[in-house]
């Protein structure tokens, strides 16, 4: 219920904020040579002549009927555009997320297990650098090395997997790497600090005394107890990744949701922006919901509450 | 208090000890100090005028005259980097102060204002947090327009929710303390109680968050400038410089590499100092750190003993 309220506030907030943006979609679309009557016709056609609240509730009513409206700048149904762009974004975000989780959590465990050693310091340095590096700049550096100097990967662009799977993978390697490195660093740091909190607990000593194997202790006794904050960060990150790929999409010229948002903001295409933000906030809400469910799976005490 | 005892108090404080105890933190602090000095003395340190365009000497590459070469308009890259440090520093500090100030205010009002006020304010904060920061910053940047002040405000607003959440959490726990109840019993008004007894206890957690967010603010400004929606050209900004160098990546990569390295180093330093400050000020970690210290000493002694 809380998520629904938050999504409702997001829609209202974005709708009202868009009214403050200078310029309008009709004038942008028609260009400087448009006549008064043309502007009037299109303004009426898209309902921009109505009061703000009427426009808002009309849009909300449309959403309940499964209609998002038509984009003035793209001249397409917004729902079709969003579905298509979301698929592209997810094809970059999901592999990056999986890689970030696997490598980030593994490195975090290794660092915690070897606390104070050279290995721990090395992992911490890599994680810190990964978090501090501007994503767009790292992308450019990868393009420079792997595309411009070594010529083994394409510089930019996107190929749909159904068209050519090999080319699609080659085009995805660099953007996925950029996105994965940043989030991997966050997961690594969180795993390390969470693991350090549980690593010397009494139940770990008991397990050791019972003769439980090191691997079982790490994964069953330590990682499981350290998992709640890690899962929280993961949930928040996945939501942020979907909306936050703007930079990666911009550097690698990927026709995803982020690029759509930038072009829609520049074109003042309010309806696309509003629906885009709505989709992103729904993704964030779903991630939060999954995290809440996972809390119960990880910790029976939360489930029993 | 005389100077000597003040100095003793500062050097004896936990924050000072933690900040100067780790070599890496000291190095980071030194680099940040260098950044401040560079930003303050930019006109003296810059070898050339960062805005002077010489189309005859564009994309010249590294040379004794132009250490980091020149950009597509013939401007000296090193001078632009030196001037760009001002933008990063100002955006980092100003947006963090805006976010911290308003965030603490919202958190205080939410924590002290009763259930309805709390619910309304925190749901708004949740809504702001559910829109990714870069998208929200793009939005606000478009509304306010380009320019240094506007970007500070846009990034500042985006970061308000995290401060509001932290402050509200602190307020809710502090307001149950006995000394707050004692204040009420002594007849202190709600506002006085909030300002004198509750607010000071929320500051340290927010200070840590501020230090850690300085890096994020600098990264956000760089990202906005890279997308062409940040600082107005020709003002030198590191993100904008990477964007300029992007087009000449094969021919003259240093134009894009150098400002990116600067962003990374400064953000890294802010993050590391923030981590150390958190270790020093977080009451939960205090015991752990002390125990860790003792354990390390004990282990060292045991090793030494054989």
Reported as a single tens digit per residue, the pLDDT across A219-255 is 888 888 888 889 988 988 888 888 778 899 999 999 9
Residues A199-209 have pLDDT tens digits of 888 888 899 89
Question: What is the rounded CA–CA span in Å between residue B188 and residue B193?
Answer: 6
Residue of A nearest to B251 (CA): A148
More confident residue, B162 or B296: B162
Judged by CB atoms closer than 8 Å, whether chains meet at B130 and A128 is answered as no
pLDDT of residue A62: 86
Beta bridge partners of A70: A77
pLDDT value for A297? 86
* pLDDT per position as a tens digit, B193-249: 888 888 888 888 888 889 888 999 999 999 999 988 888 888 889 999 998 888 888
**What is the tally of helices (H) and strands (E) in chain B?**
14, 0
Residues of chain B with Cβ-Cβ distance to A135 below 8 Å are 223
Q: Is residue B165 part of a domain?
A: yes
- A261-276: pLDDT as tens digits: 988 888 888 888 889 9
Q: Quickly list DSSP for B190-235.
A: HHHIIIIIIHHHHHHHHHHHHHHHHHHHHHHHHHHHHTTSSSPTTS
Q: Which of residues 232-261 of A touch B (CB under 8 A)?
A: 239-240, 242-244, 246-247, 250-251, 258, 261
Q: Is residue B212 part of a domain?
A: yes
C-beta separation of B230 from B239 below 8 A: yes
Distance from the Cα of residue B108 to its chain's centroid = 22
**Residue B1 pLDDT grade (very low, low, confident, very high; cuts 50, 70, 90):** low
Across A126-153, average pLDDT: 93
Does residue B215 contact residue B32 with C-beta atoms inside 8 Å? no
- Per residue in B243-255, pLDDT (tens digit) is 888 888 888 899 9
pLDDT at B282: 64
Query: Is the residue at B12 inside a domain?
Result: no
Gyration radius (Cα) of chain A, Å: 24
Residue of B nearest to A141 (CA): B257
Whether residue B145 lies within 8 A of chain A, CB to CB, comes out as yes
**pLDDT tens column, B42-54:** 999 988 888 888 8
**B157, B122, B282: which is closest to B211 by C-alpha?**
B282
Nearest CA in chain B to A282: B130
Q: Tell me if B288 is assigned to some domain.
A: no
Q: Is B130 close to A262, i.e. CB distance below 8 A?
A: no
**Full-model pTM:** 0.87
Hey, are the CB atoms on B130 and A265 less than 8 Å from each other? no
Q: Kindly report, residue by residue over A8-55, the tens digit of the pLDDT.
A: 888 888 888 888 877 777 777 777 777 778 888 877 777 777 888 888
| Binary contact (B133, A265; C-beta < 8 A) | no
CB A181 within 8 A of CB A133: yes
pLDDT at site B290: 47
CB of B212 within 8 Å of a chain A CB? The answer is no
Q: Please, what is the end-to-end C-alpha distance for chain A in angstroms?
A: 18
Question: How far is the CA of B299 from the CAs of B58, B170, B291, B303, B305, in angstroms?
Answer: 60, 37, 12, 6, 10
Range of the domain at B188: 21-46+76-282
In a domain, residue B2? The reply is no
Question: Has residue B172 been placed in a domain?
Answer: yes
Model confidence band, residue B175 (pLDDT cutoffs 50, 70, 90) = confident
Q: Is residue B298 part of a domain?
A: no
Q: Which region among A159-173, B46-60, B66-80, B106-120 has the lowest average model confidence (pLDDT)?
A: B46-60
Tell me the percentage of chain A whose pLDDT exceeds 90. 36
Number of domains present in the structure of chain B: 1
pLDDT above 80: residue B12? no
CATH of the domain at B33: 1.10.3720.10
CA A24 to chain centre: 28
B9-23, B96-110, B234-248: which is most confident: B96-110
Q: pLDDT value at position B189?
A: 86
Instruction: Give B169→chain A minimum CA distance, Å.
Output: 17
The answer to whether residue B54 sits within a structural domain is no
């Amino acid at each position: 219920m809380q998520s629904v309220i938050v999504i409702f506030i997001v829609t209202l907030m974005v709708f009202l904020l868009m009214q403050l943006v200078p310029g309008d979609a009709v004038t942008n679309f028609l260009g400087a040579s448009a006549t008064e009557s043309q502007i009037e016709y299109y303004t009426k056609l898209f309902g921009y002549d109505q009061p703000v609240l009427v426009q808002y509730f009309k849009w909300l009513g449309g959403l309940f009927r499964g209609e998002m409206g038509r984009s003035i700048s793209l001249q397409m149904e917004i729902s079709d555009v969003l579905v298509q762009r979301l698929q592209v974004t997810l094809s970059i975000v999901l592999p990056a997320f999986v890689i970030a989780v696997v490598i980030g959590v593994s490195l975090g465990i290794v660092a915690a297990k070897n606390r104070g050693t050279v290995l721990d310091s090395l992992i911490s340095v890599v994680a810190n650098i990964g978090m501090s590096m501007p994503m767009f700049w790292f992308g450019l550096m990868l393009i420079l090395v792997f595309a411009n100097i070594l010529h083994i990967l394409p510089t930019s662009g996107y190929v749909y997997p159904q068209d050519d799977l090999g080319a699609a993978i080659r085009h995805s390697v660099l953007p996925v790497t950029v996105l994965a490195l940043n989030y991997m660093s966050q997961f690594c740091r969180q795993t390390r600090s969470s693991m350090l909190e549980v690593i010397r607990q009494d139940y770990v000593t008991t397990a050791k005394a019972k003769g439980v194997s090191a691997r079982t202790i790490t994964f069953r006794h330590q990682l499981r107890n350290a998992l709640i904050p890690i899962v929280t960060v993961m949930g928040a990150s996945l939501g942020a990744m979907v909306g936050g790929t703007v930079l990666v999409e911009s550097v690698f010229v990927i026709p995803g949701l982020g690029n759509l948002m930038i072009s829609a903001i520049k074109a003042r295409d309010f309806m696309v922006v509003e629906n885009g933000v709505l989709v992103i906030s729904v993704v964030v809400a779903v991630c939060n919901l999954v995290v809440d469910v996972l809390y119960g799976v990880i910790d029976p005490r939360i489930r029993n509450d | 208090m005389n100077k000597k005892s003040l100095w003793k108090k500062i050097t004896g404080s936990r924050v000072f000890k933690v900040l100067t105890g780790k070599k890496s933190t000291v190095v980071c602090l030194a680099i940040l100090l260098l950044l401040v000095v560079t930003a303050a003395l930019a006109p003296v340190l810059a070898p050339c005028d960062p805005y002077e365009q010489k189309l005859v000497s564009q994309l010249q590459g590294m040379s004794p005259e132009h250490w980091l070469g020149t950009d597509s308009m013939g401007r000296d890259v090193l001078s632009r980097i030196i001037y760009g440090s001002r933008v990063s520093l100002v955006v980092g500090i100003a947006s963090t102060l805006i976010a911290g100030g308003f965030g603490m205010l919202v958190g205080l009002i939410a924590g002290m204002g009763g259930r309805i006020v709390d619910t309304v304010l925190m749901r708004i904060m949740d809504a702001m947090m559910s829109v990714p920061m870069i998208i929200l910053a793009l939005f606000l940047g478009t509304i306010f327009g380009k320019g240094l002040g506007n970007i500070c405000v846009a990034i500042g607003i985006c970061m308000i929710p995290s401060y509001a959440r932290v402050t509200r959490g602190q307020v809710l726990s502090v307001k149950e303390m006995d000394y707050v109840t004692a204040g009420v019993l002594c007849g202190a008004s709600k506002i006085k109680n909030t300002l004198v007894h509750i607010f000071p206890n929320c500051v340290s957690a927010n200070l840590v968050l501020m230090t850690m967010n300085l890096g994020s603010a600098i990264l956000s400004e760089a990202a906005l400038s890279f997308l062409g929606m940040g600082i107005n050209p020709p003002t030198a900004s590191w993100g904008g410089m990477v964007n300029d160098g992007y087009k000449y990546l094969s021919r003259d990569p240093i134009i894009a590499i150098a400002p990116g390295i600067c962003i990374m180093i400064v953000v890294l330093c802010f993050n590391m100092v923030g981590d150390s400050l958190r270790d020093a000020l977080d009451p939960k970690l205090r015991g752990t750190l002390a125990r860790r210290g003792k354990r390390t000493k004990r282990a060292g002694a045991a090793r030494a003993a054989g």
